[in-house]
Structure 1
Amino acid sequence: MPRQCLEQINQNQTQGDIIEAGIALGGSAILLARLMPPTAEFHGYDVFGMIPPPSPRDDPKSHQRYQIIAQGASPGLGGHRYYGYEPNLYQKVLDHFQAFGLPPNSPRLHLHPGYFEDTLTFCPDQHIALAHIDCDWYDSVKTCLERIYPALSPGGYLILDDYYDYGGCRQATDEFLAKHSDLQIVLCQENLVLQKISPDDTPANQVVF
């Protein structure tokens, strides 16, 4: 789905940077950075380590998932170590970017280690064309939506990776949608994809996948 959104951003010449909150090993971040418009910058945000625990606003499934992670019992993808157990995840992600010919922390590629409430800030003149939010829990998703939305360009996309996986993500998103009528749902299958619209948007710019 990020690929289709990027194609629409390029087609409609939507202005702004590309954001990912929750990078893990860097797979989707590398895809976004490789396909982003030539005028955009990529900004990736992550703790690059063990994720913080869920809060009382999260569902039992989220707490059960976190207990497995905290106990060191979570399997990784493809038989590899779970990314949160990597002793130097930040360096591993840097190496992954480099292996795909994308020197990180260059003028167009920026990685921001730390908690979202500390790192997810934008300049007043900065615009966002697409944000991939992949951070599981209620508090993290709420922080991302509140920080990213004001900078999101008309026609820009928000991709909620965990909307159908974790109740906290779904609740935070539904609460935010109830307050912002200029966000329309353009896909509600594996992920939830939202597009920011304005009253003068033409139907051609409002794409439902």
Structure 2
Amino acid sequence: MDDYLPALTGIRNELRGGRSVYEGYQRSWGLEFGELKTHILADPDYRFAAALAEGRSVLMLERMMNLFLLVKFFLPRLPFGHIVEYGSFRGGSAMFMAALAERFLPGAQVYALDTFAGMPETDSAIDAHAAGDFANTNMTEIQAMADRSGLTNLHLVKGLFQETAPTLLPQIGSIVLSHIDCDIYSAVKYSYDISKPHMAPMGYFVFDDATVSSCIGATEAVESFVIARDGLLSEQIYPHFVFRHPAAG
């Protein structure tokens, strides 16, 4: 790992405001300005997982790479927990993370929550997307692909988040990564709030769309609740927003 991630000089490796600035720089600076992309593209673990996601995800390359770095190098440092994804579309990023979790997080499960029928109602005052967007998906087909790929640790959960998450999350226990891949205000707010009581100390909240130009609703939810209300400071702003859940006490 030491010769994979950049060793940064001049930045102390300590917690500041509940986040690891050093680790954030390792990933974000490494992806934007360093040689991390080259290393990752040559990594057989990345290549294996990325092949499963091909054609199934609209995540930009750097964001997929950042998820790779988190699952392979950073989540194993935390207490045991699971991965929950809010908004899975065609299952690409969920399969990607499940393949990596099998190798680096033994026993951890990946739960992919989605209507698998398109977006719910949105707020036209803030959301650019409308109900029914991203309806070109098929849960049966995704499950068949997961089965063919041997991803026994991937669980598809169909329905609105508010219908499925309140029962699911208490059953699965601790979460180490909440991947909130939602484009609209209400979904981002709900996903963040429902995850908080179940997050492991220093677990990761990753907001895929809150820095996307067409998703100001997602941005406002992060600004209003993660930053303004809860006082969290971002560990990364590139390639997406990453925050850490506060340590106990």
**TM > 0.5 between the two?**
yes
Alignment match of 1:176 (pick from 225, 229, 236): 225
- The whole-number CA distance in structure 1 between the counterparts of 2:75 and 2:161 is 25
Match of 1:75 in 2: none
Instruction: Output the TM-score relative to the length of structure 2.
Output: 0.64
Letter in 1 for 2:75: I
Equivalent positions of 1:54-73 (< 5 A) are: 54-59=122-127, 62=128, 65-66=129-130
Equivalent positions of 1:45-124 (< 5 A) are: 45-59=113-127, 62=128, 65-66=129-130, 84-86=135-137, 89-103=138-152, 108-121=153-166, 122-123=169-170
Tell me if 1:9 matches 2:60: no
DSSP-derived class of the 1:186 partner:
coil
DSSP-derived class of the 1:171 partner:
helix
Tell me if 1:143 matches 2:208: no
Q: 1:57 Cα shift? A: 5.0
Q: 1:98 Cα shift? A: 2.1
Compare relative contact order (CA 8 Å, sep 6+) and give the higher one, 1 or 2: 1
Q: 1:150 Cα shift? A: 1.2
Alignment match of 1:44 (pick from 87, 112, 118): 112
Instruction: Output the TM-score relative to the length of structure 1.
Output: 0.76
DSSP-derived class of the 1:150 partner:
helix
- The whole-number CA distance in structure 2 between the counterparts of 1:27 and 1:172 is 25
Unmatched runs of 5 consecutive residues or more in structure 1: 71-82, 201-209
Letter in 2 for 1:163: A
- Asked if 2 retains the 8 angstrom alpha-carbon contact of 1:14 and 1:155, the reply is no
Q: 1:170 Cα shift? A: 0.6
Once the two structures are superposed, residues 84-105 of structure 1 have per-residue CA deviations (whole angstroms, 9 ceiling, x without a partner) of 134xx111211221232214xx
- The whole-number CA distance in structure 1 between the counterparts of 2:182 and 2:172 is 26
Q: 1:199 Cα shift? A: 7.0
- Asked if 2 retains the 8 angstrom alpha-carbon contact of 1:18 and 1:130, the reply is yes
- Asked if 2 retains the 8 angstrom alpha-carbon contact of 1:184 and 1:197, the reply is no
Q: 1:124 Cα shift? A: 7.2
- Asked if 1 retains the 8 angstrom alpha-carbon contact of 2:88 and 2:181, the reply is yes
DSSP-derived class of the 2:176 partner:
strand
Indicate the RMSD between aligned Cα atoms, in angstroms.
Answer: 2.1
Match of 2:3 in 1: none
Match of 1:193 in 2: 242
DSSP-derived class of the 2:236 partner:
strand
Q: 1:56 Cα shift? A: 4.2
- The structure where helix makes up a greater share of residues is 2
Match of 2:94 in 1: 29
Once the two structures are superposed, residues 72-94 of structure 1 have per-residue CA deviations (whole angstroms, 9 ceiling, x without a partner) of xxxxxxxxxxx5134xx111211
Number of residue equivalences: 175
Tell me if 1:160 matches 2:207: yes
- The structure where strand makes up a greater share of residues is 1
Letter in 1 for 2:130: Y
